[in-house]
Amino acid sequence: MGNLQRMKRVLKCLFFVPITLCVIYLISPFVKLVMDFIPMEKCILESAKMLNLDSSVDASLNLQSRPDVQTCTYWKAAIIWEGMFDPRLYDDMHKSKGSSVALTVFAVGRYLDAYLHKFLNSSEQHFMVGLPVTYYVFTDMPEMLPDIKLSPLRSLKVIKVKKNSRWQDVSMTRMKSISDVIESDIRHHCTYVFCFDVDQVFTGRFGSEALGDSVALLHAHYYHLPKHLYTYDRNPNSKAYMETGDFYYHAAVFGGSWKSVKALTEACYQGIMEDKQNNVEALWHDESHLNKYMLLHKPSRVLSPEYCWDTNIGYRSDIQVTRLLWAPKHYETLRTP
Ligand code: UDP
Ligand code: MN
């Protein structure tokens, strides 16, 4: 290449790169705003009595109170949004039934120092207030656990786990650890189990309206997107492979009765191990396997993205409250071995 040509190329780059960056910068808020106008499908049930009920109180859900969003799935599971439910009815029902909840959370390596304190403190303020809650904290450094003052009816158990060197393995082996502790402990003490990522903070009621036999969460970044943009695992060699599905669920929050969560975590772990034997890894690790499982075993209850919102998305008219927020992610410092 001659010097002149090379010079022309460099000048072209100098000219086009800033322009491209400007265009991306200018249209990204616009793209976000437009997403708000892509409507969700709508619930076609006339009354909540027609839902497949997780409990009798579900018949009191007001499916029509939120015409702006989808309030039930085609398999008649409720999708829970602010304005649809009376929190007192759920709290009273679960108190009188004697429901209790296990919360599992992993804080391995630097995630402990970065997130656990805020996560647990905020959970004390907002998660299943009024019900007995047992925290199951999985960590490689039990001695470093923050000192948290727990309310009455609430307790904390620590489970020591090995630190995998790859963050993907830390994330994926959670499935095995959860299923083990359900078998050894949770099933004898708790009705429900909820499993959380630690890099989040509760900011509003995350209450008993979220309890059900099998509970999945709509991913905040995908609930307005057309299905072909969902990032399912598309590798036919993976056990998580799926062509299409119902929703894109977020693995940062899932739950249900101890029996359902045990079945889910066991199946996902099995899929993950089979993939390892075949030298494949699903695109989004445990989340891809969770999505596959939920396609084959429909959740009985779906949580709206209020239950795990990312403020980076910006304003959305259908998010009237935020109950749990993504904490800032500092992957560069947290994920390095
Ligand atoms: N995790 C951990 N230590 C690690 C990597 C992951 O404790 O080194 C746990 C932690 O609970 C975290 C979850 O696994 O929230 C999932 O990982 P991450 O939050 O980084 O995944 P992302 O939110 O990006 O999907
Ligand atoms: Mn996370």
In ligand 1, the atom with minimum distance to the C-alpha of 251 is 25
Q: Are residues 211 and 304 in the same domain?
A: yes
Q: Are residues 24 and 111 in the same domain?
A: no
Q: Per-residue pLDDT tens for 287-300?
A: 999 999 999 999 99
pLDDT value of residue 29: 66
Closest CA to 134 of 104, 118, 155: 155
pLDDT value of residue 19: 65
Q: Per-residue pLDDT tens for 30-78?
A: 766 677 788 899 999 999 999 999 999 999 999 999 999 999 999 999 9
Q: Are residues 139 and 24 in the same domain?
A: no
Ligand nearest to the CA of 195: 1
Q: Per-residue pLDDT tens for 221-249?
A: 999 999 999 999 999 999 999 999 999 99
Over its length of 337 residues, how does the chain's per-residue pLDDT go in tens digits? 567 677 777 667 666 665 665 566 566 667 666 777 888 999 999 999 999 999 999 999 999 999 999 999 999 999 999 999 999 999 999 999 999 999 999 999 999 999 999 999 999 999 999 999 999 999 999 999 999 999 999 999 999 999 998 999 999 999 999 999 999 999 999 999 999 999 999 999 999 999 999 999 999 999 999 999 999 999 999 999 999 999 999 999 999 999 999 999 999 999 999 999 999 999 999 999 999 999 999 999 999 999 999 999 999 999 999 999 999 998 888 987 6
The SS3 assignment for 193 reads strand
Q: What percent of the chain has pLDDT over 70?
A: 92
Candidate from 104, 106, 290 with most ligand 1 atoms within 8 A of CB, to mutate: 106
Closest CA to 80 of 277, 312, 323, 311: 323
- Within-domain flag for 40: no
Q: Are residues 326 and 274 in the same domain?
A: yes
Total domains in the chain come to: 2
Q: Are residues 111 and 136 in the same domain?
A: yes
Query: Residue holding tokens 């907002």?
Result: 126
Instruction: Say which CATH number the domain at 203 has.
Output: 3.90.550.10
Q: pTM of the entire structure?
A: 0.92
The SS3 assignment for 138 reads strand
Pocket-forming residues, ligand 1, beta carbon under 6 Å: 106-109, 111, 167, 170-171, 197-199, 252, 329
- For residue 70, the Cα-to-chain-centroid distance in whole angstroms is 18
- Domain range spanning residue 12? 1-35
Query: Residue holding tokens 């963050």?
Result: 167
Query: Residue holding tokens 């109170």?
Result: 65
